[in-house]
Homo-oligomer: A and B are copies of this chain.
Amino acid sequence: MFYLIGLGLCDEKDITVRGLETVKGSARVYLEAYTSILMIQKERLEEFYGKDLILADRDMVETESDEILRDADKVDVSLLVVGDPYGATTHTDIVLRARALNIPTRVIHNASIMNAIGACGLQLYNFGQTVSLVFFTNTWKPDSFYDRIAENTNLGMHTLVLLDIKVKEQSEENLARKIYEPPRYMSIPQAVSQLVEVEESRQTGVLHPANTLAMALSRVGGGDEQRIVCGTLDELLAQPADIYGEPLHSLVIVGKRLHHLEVEYAEAYAVDKSNWRRVAQDVYGCALDS
């Protein structure tokens, strides 16, 4: 059997009991290298599992899937994935390949940012499509996410904005060699400034720096390390960077389908509680107790 196993959000103990049993019983266990975005190292996972892990970067999962799937019709082989195997990055390619080879597949689900974002207190029901924000460069500022956010906000829906991660980047002088830059994670201030930059160039009023509410989350599910901060885009931009904690950061653009209990719940995280309530009431039209 070929197992796709979600590791959840933070560390070695976020795997499910079923997932752990499956890892221990597998002949080979691959760890998708995007796990550099887990908050722990491969070695800690290996120690916890009592098992060696084979690092599989995204290229390998895509181009050497037959090696990963080798003998999986006879023995159990597992591929470990941060979050859920059908989260932001799906693994349909390797499942299709397994099917073609008549290898049975099973998925062991776990939390991913796509559902754990509910920790912000906004109803998951009322989230529209999810968008991704990539690092802008001087010459490359892809902004189609803006149209997607517009579609959501026009309907009053919230938008989960996933922030870019750069792993295994190569500098120009190292292009020919297998030397990689340290990983980079987009932070909340950078994300918000890119949103505001696009709004300034588009000028269609999808985002109002002073009147659009947003919630910034980092290390969701990470216990004491988790941070939630909310406010207007302007307010989030004005905070010192360390208020947002360690990466990964995620951002939610708040839509108008807002219940007063949600506003009240999030108020505890607000940069400025009275402004949070004021915007929710006056701009979003949410009826609050005074």
Contact = CB atoms under 8 A, between A and B. Distances in A.
Nearest to A221: B109
Q: For this complex, into which size category does the number of interface residues on chain A fall?
A: 35 or more
A265 B98 CA distance: 12
Given A17-B17, A125-B130, A129-B127, A90 B118 contact: yes
A116 B86 contact: yes
Contacts of A93: 261
Copies in the complex: 2
Contact of A114 (B88, B107, B115): B115
B119 A221 contact: no
A18 B13 contact: yes
A189 interface: no
A123 interface: yes
Contact of A87 (B9, B84, B92, B118): B118
A268 interface: yes
B111 A119 contact: no
Nearest to A127: B129
Q: Which 7 A-B pairs have the closest CB atoms?
A: A86-B118, A109-B111, A115-B115, A13-B18, A13-B17, A114-B115, A109-B116
A126 to B, nearest CB: 6
Contacts of A29: none
A262 interface: yes
Interface in A79-111: 84-88, 90, 92-93, 95-96, 99, 106-111
Interface of A: 6, 8-9, 12-18, 20-21, 84-88, 90, 92-93, 95-96, 99, 106-112, 114-116, 118-119, 121, 123-132, 151, 155, 157, 220-221, 223, 261-262, 264-265, 268
Nearest to A83: B115
B8 A87 contact: no
Nearest to A107: B119
B151 A116 contact: no
Contacts of A13: 16-18, 21
Contacts of A109: 8-9, 14, 111, 115-116, 119, 220-221
